[in-house]
Amino acid sequence: MGNTMKKRVGILGGGTAGSTIAIRLAALGLETFIFEKNASLINGPPMCHLHAGGNLYREIPDQDCINLLQQSIDILRLYPFSIDARPTVFAVPIRDNNSPLDLIPRLNKLTNAYRELIDKDHNNKVLGEPSEYYKLYDKKQLLELSKKQPAAHPSTLDEWLIPAAKYMDLNKLQFPVIAVKEYGWNIFRLSASAHFALEQYKNAHVFINTNVKQVLNNNLQQNKWLIEYQQDTKQNTETIEVDYLINACGFRTGEIDDMVGVEVNRMVEFKSSYITSWQSNEGLLPEIVIYGERGTPQGMAQLTPYPNGYFQIHGMTESITLFNDGLVDSNKHTSQPKLPKKYINYIENGWESESLISRSQQAINHVSEFMPRFNNAKTVNNALYGGQQIPGNDETLRVTNVQIYPEINYARAENVKASSTLNAADEIVYSLQTNLFIAIDASDEENRFHHNWKYLKQVKQSTIDKKAQQLALDRGFPVNMGLVNCNLNELTLSKS
């Protein structure tokens, strides 16, 4: 691999983007240094939904949805243990101005795109048969399903729809209701997966509890970078020199841009979802999404199930997930949009109980409008929240943005959706190659095209179960949230 072994890359931020880029670069043999101020990797803003088709977003272009599908399949193949392999049910309420029929042309395009991905590589068949990527249900079918006995281990879309049909108020919905193979995504399991993937590389140096304080470009040394960092346990700062700098600092990406001296427009949005507890006696639920206009009191409701009766809720209204002062812009003086202090305080020190419980209760009420029996769910005084970066000034953007500055050996990865991170890593690798910074030999093709990730041969589901439950506990969440209802590998194995 020639010079590659000697090259050092510094990655700032150990969220999904930084961790995934680190795995990709370490697999290529680069000396990879990743710095994360939190106590574990991937402990920032959450993810609960793998956007394998972008169907949550009716407003985005079809091509973005197709990109999200492809990116989600790639990321699922890198992190299969992080997936909860249950579908999502999308329903349009009667009061909504749009019809569910509007979504069908796009679903057909997505089905064709999925078929083409499988034709290219059979291992892409991770969402089941293309013909079962989505299914439409009219009222009569749902009423029939609602009378059936729930399956202990649902595997078909019909089986998943049984409890949904029993709980949803069908009189408030337009038809068809749509079930799509958009799976769940578990942040604790993703964090555990990234931890084990990086652990296997001697050339991956992971610094957690480590704050990057400054970066300096050393022009005299062919644009090498000096990273000044401070570990929580130490009084003094330390410095290392790297050949290439990657900024993956999430909503704080602008702070590093300011240090580097590049001007960038972006927005940052503070958003939150709430953890609740509710015992369903009608079997395992799929994720349920009731569409609505963002920012209005009728904004989308999203109910995401976890094992043991825990549910995460998003409600796209200003009294639940959104905040009237939660979306901020960069300006001509700084590339870092400034969130109000109270949200920074929530992110760094936790959220005070009173408003957290009040928003959680409003989230329960929001879901109960369409699932009346959910109204006895309990708040558990916890939430998954954070600042989300949106490059540019289009707040509906849902895909990745990688910016490469080849003349200064600097790159920045900003992902509105966590599923885009492998794609971002690929763009960075491609740029490193084309700048002749690294040479990739034939044996690296495997990693390049994501056919086979080495760590998956060594790590078992039970290892992830253990680590993810510990991470959930350490972060103050119910231990069961480290598990999934339907493990993808088990499902795939049982069908093969």
Ligand X SMILES: Cc1cc2nc3c(=O)[nH]c(=O)nc-3n(C[C@H](O)[C@H](O)[C@H](O)COP(=O)(O)OP(=O)(O)OC[C@H]3O[C@@H](n4cnc5c(N)ncnc54)[C@H](O)[C@@H]3O)c2cc1C
Binding site for ligand X (CB under 6 A): 12-18, 35-38, 43-49, 51, 185, 211-212, 248-252, 271-273, 385-386, 388, 415-419
Quote the least distance from Cβ 170 to ligand X, whole Å: 26
Choice between 44 and 130, CB closer to ligand X: 44
Choice between 276 and 415, CB closer to ligand X: 415
CB 384 within 8 A of CB 199: no
Give the phi and the psi of residue 267 in degrees, each rounded to 5.
Answer: -120, 160
Choice between 156 and 361, CB closer to ligand X: 361
Please tell me the number of Cα atoms within 13 Å of 467 on its side-chain side: 22
Quote the least distance from Cβ 487 to ligand X, whole Å: 19
Choice between 4 and 38, CB closer to ligand X: 38
Quote the least distance from Cβ 244 to ligand X, whole Å: 17
Within 10 A of 300 (CB to CB), how many other CB atoms are there?
A: 21
Choice between 145 and 248, CB closer to ligand X: 248
Quote the least distance from Cβ 254 to ligand X, whole Å: 10
> What is the DSSP secondary-structure string of 136-184?
EE-HHHHHHHHTSPPPSS--SHHHHHHHHHHHS-GGGB-S-EEEE---E
R_g of the chain computed on alpha carbons: 22
- Burial class (CB within 10 angstroms; exposed 0-12, middle 13-18, buried 19+) of 373: middle
Quote the least distance from Cβ 388 to ligand X, whole Å: 4
**Residues shown for the chain:** 496
Quote the least distance from Cβ 350 to ligand X, whole Å: 15
Choice between 46 and 154, CB closer to ligand X: 46
Both tokens of residue 317?
Answer: 């209204």
Least Cα distance to 83 among 190, 157, 192, 196 occurs for: 190
Choice between 235 and 496, CB closer to ligand X: 235
Quote the least distance from Cβ 312 to ligand X, whole Å: 9
Give the phi and the psi of residue 24 in degrees, each rounded to 5.
Answer: -60, -45
